[in-house]
Amino acid sequence: MAIPLQGKDGKGGGQVGSDDHPSATAELRALWGMAAPITALNCVVYLRAMVSVLCLGRLGPLDLAGGALAIGLTNITGHSVLFGLASGLEPLCAQAFGSRNHDLLTLSLQRAMLLLFLAALPIALLWLNVGPILVALGQDPAISAPAAAYARFALPDLAASVVLQPLRVYLRSQGITRPMAACSAIAVALHVPLNVLLVFGLGFGVRGVAAAQALTNTNMLLFLLAYIRWARACDDTWRGWARITAVASGLPELARLAVPSCVGVCLEWWWYEVVTVLAGYLPNPAAAVGGAGVLIQTTSLMYTVPMALAACVSTRVGNELGAGKPRRARMAAMVALACALAIGAVHVAWTAALSRQWVELFTTEPAVVRLAAAAMPIVGLCELGNCPQTTGCGVLRGTARPAVGARINLLSFYLVGTPVAVYLAFGAGAGFSGLWYGLLSAQATCVALILAAVVWRTDWQVEAMRAKKLAGLELAPTTTAATTTNDAESKRLVAANGEPAEDV
């Protein structure tokens, strides 16, 4: 079966290589027109997490310890996995939208929701048994009890993420970003009174913190769905609900992109938990763990901008490759990487200038302030690598090469960063700062390999051809339940422009 690489009428992406000379200024406007709302959305989500931590802090030391443990556990075992799997949807949606293959766009969303649902089942089983698992691992039962309560009441949050995470990718691939930021802002504005009511008013404690998180995520989802219906934002691209057989048949193809994306995301996210564990073995472990917590919160805040940039450049690159415009895709990648380097330089400057003042916003404990303030400039230098590295991973996802990013993260964080961190912190006597020099070595390795993969080893003409193969074929609209035709039971493959593919 031959796969047409272009539509005969030029629709759905013209001939590969036929795009005009792109403008860096125009690309900058297009990129930040998407990235600015997504950055705002990420900051809003960060604020939601901060509100939850503040509420836990007012419940007492045991509830704080158990809730913090549960938040870390649910992030590692659940939210990072679902976020990573949903990232695998990015090239499919972006390239399908760029090639105007709305059948593939619709089916990809439904397949992603099914994939995340299947992944959420064992995660839910794990969360239901958090208490006995933590006790079996040697945790204090007094801390394990609130952690288990949090995990049980966080299950609705897991269910909301199954739909919310793919829906965000689906909307972002179409350039619908401002409504997502607005809906998230409204939901987080309600997060504070929800916490006050559930945690303190009704006396649910840790369970109320988890329930408020779940309700806020559910509100985000409901507000988004209401906007889509009210504004008819997806009327031109939505093709109706497909039969379960059509959805399930495409899961292997989606999994080939989603699993490497998930691995890449989890390898990086989990490394910060490794740092926290290692800090607990240093002299004065309470101060070291506290300092690690402050720095991880700081990196999470700084991560909001490159994460938005990565998501949007993935969409921009995928859209342009799907439309058969490799020059524009390359320009989108180069402009995003330049922006990422500039953002990293800003982080270097402010972390060096305001290290002690920033740490004192979180705590006034002298030992914690001393350790964290000394490491802050190192964390800033890490961002000089992290920003372009994160953005480069977005480019790799946009070109449907997430496995490359996953291999680079594995090599950089675990085969370089972890040994360096352990040696410097415990062997060379660098202590707490040695852990962050380990992160610096990981980021330096990672950004060098990512830039090599994106800048020097990407053939954009070849990637445009690959995009045509990925987004050029899909089941005909007859596979959707909303369609009624005489040959509704038959399956036929159509090209992106709606014409049957040729058999060979």
Per-residue confidence band for 292, with pLDDT thresholds at 50, 70 and 90: confident
Query: What pLDDT sits at residue 134?
Result: 83
pLDDT digits (tens, 9 = 90+) for 15-63: 444 456 778 888 888 888 888 888 888 888 888 887 887 787 778 777 8
Q: Tens of pLDDT along 234-268?
A: 888 998 998 999 899 889 989 999 999 999 888 88
Query: Residue 255: which residues within 8 A CB-CB, separation 6 or more?
Result: 88, 115
Check residue 500 and give its pLDDT: 35
Q: 67 with 147: CB under 8 angstroms?
A: yes
Residue 285 pLDDT: 80
Distances (CA, A) of 110 to 137, 212, 491: 38, 27, 18
Mean pLDDT of 454-459: 88
User: What's the pLDDT band for 107 if we cut at 50, 70, 90?
Assistant: very high
- In the numeric block, the tokens 């049957």 are attached to 500
Pick the most confident of 143-157, 275-289, 475-489: 143-157
**Which pLDDT belongs to residue 467?**
86
| pLDDT score for 93 | 92
Q: Bridge-partner residues for 500, per DSSP? A: 494
Are 432 and 282 in contact by the 8 Å Cβ rule? The answer is yes
For 230-299, the DSSP string reads: HHTTTTTT---PBPHHHHHHTHHHHHHHHHHHHHHHHHHHHHHHHHHHHHTTSSSHHHHHHHHHHHHHHH
Listed as own residue / partner, the contacts of 361-367 with beta carbons closer than 8 Å and 24 or more positions apart are 362/294, 362/297, 363/290, 363/294, 365/287, 365/290, 367/284, 367/286, 367/287
Mean pLDDT computed over every residue of the chain: 84
Percent pLDDT > 90 in the chain is 44
CA–CA separation, 260 and 385 (whole Å): 21
Domain chopping of the chain, boundaries:
24-466
Determine the average pLDDT of the residues in 432-439: 92
Hey, what are 425's tokens?
A: 């912190």
Rounded to 10 deg, the angle between the 155-172 and 206-231 helix axes is 30
**Res. 449: pLDDT tops 80:** yes
Q: How many CB atoms lie within 10 A of CB 131?
A: 18
Q: How many residues does the chain have?
A: 504
Mean pLDDT throughout 296-302? Answer: 86
pLDDT of residue 343: 94
C-alpha to C-alpha distance for 73 and 341, rounded to whole angstroms:
32
- Three-class SS state of 474: strand
- pLDDT at site 139: 73
DSSP state of 477: G
Cα gap 236→241, rounded to integer Å: 14
- 14 has a pLDDT exceeding 60: no
For residue 379, the model assigns a pLDDT of 92
pLDDT tens profile 266-282 = 888 888 878 877 887 88
Tokens 């938040």 belong to residue: 71
DSSP string computed for 74-141:
HIIIIIHHHHHHHHTHHHHHHHHHHTT-HHHHHHHHHHHHHHHHHHHHHHHHHHHTHHHHHHHTT--H
Query: pLDDT tens across 172-200, in order?
Result: 999 898 999 899 999 989 998 999 999 89
Q: How far apart are CA 130 and CA 277, in angstroms?
A: 19
Query: What pLDDT is recorded for position 48?
Result: 84
- pLDDT value for 489: 33
Element (H, E) at 475: strand 474-475
Alpha-carbon distance of 98 to 317, in angstroms, equals 9
Which pLDDT tens digit goes with each residue over 347-372? 999 999 988 998 888 777 888 889 88
Please answer whether residues 280 and 432 qualify as being in contact, where contact means their C-beta atoms are separated by less than 8 angstroms: no
Tell me the pLDDT tens digit for each residue of 373-431: 999 999 999 999 999 999 999 999 999 898 998 999 999 999 999 999 999 999 888 88
| 302: number of Cβ within 10 Å | 22
What confidence score (pLDDT) does residue 218 get? 94
Does pTM surpass 0.75? yes
For residue 46, with 0-12 CB atoms within 10 Å meaning exposed, 13-18 middle and 19 or more buried, which class applies? middle
> What does the pLDDT read at residue 75?
85
**Residue 500, phi then psi, degrees to nearest 5:** -60, 140
- φ/ψ region of 223 (left if φ > 0, alpha if ψ in -120 to 50, else beta) reads alpha
* Residue whose entry in the numeric block shows the structure tokens 């299950």: 155
59-78 residue pLDDT tens: 877 787 778 778 878 888 89
Kindly indicate the confidence band of residue 472, based on its pLDDT and cuts at 50, 70 and 90. Answer: low
